[in-house]
Amino acid sequence: MSQLIVLGLQWGDEGKGKIVDLLCPAFDVVARYQGGHNAGHTVRFGDRHFALHLIPSGILHEQTRCVLGNGMVINPEAFFSELDDLEASGVEVEGRLFISERAHVLLPLYAAVDQARERQLGEQAIGTTSRGIGPAYENRASRAGIRMCDLRSDDLEARLRPLHARLANELRSAEAEVPSLESLAADCREWAARLEPYVADTGALLQAWMAEGKGALFEGAQGALLDLDHGTYPFVTSSNSTAGGACTGTGIPPTAIDGVMGVLKAYTSRVGGGPFVTELEDETGEFLRRRGNEFGTTTGRPRRCGWLDLVASRYACRLNGVASIALTKLDVLDELAEIPVCVGYRIDDQVTCEMPARSEDLERAEPVYEVLPGWQEETAGALEFDDLPERARRYVQYVEERLDAAVHIISTGPRREETCLRRDGWLDGILGEGLSRVATAIRG
């Protein structure tokens, strides 16, 4: 069985949840490798609708094991809430859900610090979800964090004391409320008892499963352009959302990975601050937002919308070694007579097709567009590529040529059944016998 990474090629919200859900029948395991409950996946099939933030969407498939990897920062209360919602919906998780003992615990202090910092930054705020993700990764990097394996430690309070003292000072200076050390320690003890059935050495489990011939799908949160090292810094997340994070965030070697699939929205959206070269602050942008239901799964915030940016997408493909693309929300473009696509940036008096490192350069950049004809026909319900309108097929082929990667999945709606699957040798090699199960899932 193959090991596949699935990640977003933009700033998140590309529709990864649906794509992972579609591919699950071909894999035995789904492992999430970074981020926290700042990410959100929405999965729809039939008349059922699930919004997931921590637990991989693979949990909706009764044969699939799910792993929350060591690269994640996990808020126990958010995890329990999600777990309760799944069980209330009749989803059985016992024996299928595992949390890395090396994953860091996202403490309530971190969210309080995150919110205080965003308030203080005012107009210069990063636009975080204010859920404590950044402070959690800061303390992880400074070796002051609390991991899942530490929650039952005899010296837990001693570990918490210096961390609490430092963050409490910051909160007091921001005139924010400070929870007591005693209440924090009591929460940790309570969490430990409920988390115990799920916490395991997931790196060892993953390697053992792969040695048995099982296939794993490694799922990234957010998108490649929010990667801490390679994204639009400083308007990025606090972890590595690119393909390399799959190995460091789960404990499997790079040699185990067989391929990378990137998820690309047929236009572009972004939540929070930061440069966005193709952003549309007009009626067309509002049309994309409304028709695409562009409101955050996690925050509910309206997303900024714009045309497809192939400069940024090509950079993301190259960075991650993407050979396969899942193109989502093609149907959102159905009514448009013309569809501009960004193929270059004009910065001052120079045109470049490369992604600048400096956010200040991106802020000044003007998009260079090629305009493609729209199809003005409905694409929803197409199960075969040839069922799409001719101009919609040309749009897909244009994206393939520009990004030098095959579009294997085309999503024309939020439900599993609204998907077109294109087979070739690469996809057959990655999915193997599981390809027929994926096709069956699409057809209901």
225: closest CA among 280, 263, 197, 251? 263
Residue 13: active-site member: yes
Residue position matching structure tokens 């981020």: 35
Torsional sign, CA 55, 299, 41, 271: negative
* Selected catalytic residue, list 13, 21, 28, 227: 13
Which residue(s) pair with 373 in the sheet? 338
Q: Who's near 305: CB < 8 A, 6+ residues apart?
A: 267, 268, 269, 279, 280, 285, 286, 288, 289, 292, 294
CA separation, residue 276 to residues 163, 309, 320, 368 (Å): 36, 9, 21, 13
Question: Could you give the 3-state DSSP secondary structure of residue 85?
Answer: helix
**374 DSSP assignment:** P
Asked if residues 291 and 369 have their Cβ atoms less than 8 Å apart, the reply is: no
93: closest CA among 131, 134, 50? 50
Asked if residues 439 and 417 have their Cβ atoms less than 8 Å apart, the reply is: no
Which residue(s) pair with 330 in the sheet? none
* Selected catalytic residue, list 21, 37, 41, 53: 41
Q: What is the 3-state secondary structure (H, E, C) of 18-38?
A: HHHHHHHHHCCEEEECCECCC
CA separation, residue 420 to residues 324, 330, 336 (Å): 14, 11, 21
- Which residues are annotated as catalytic? 13, 41
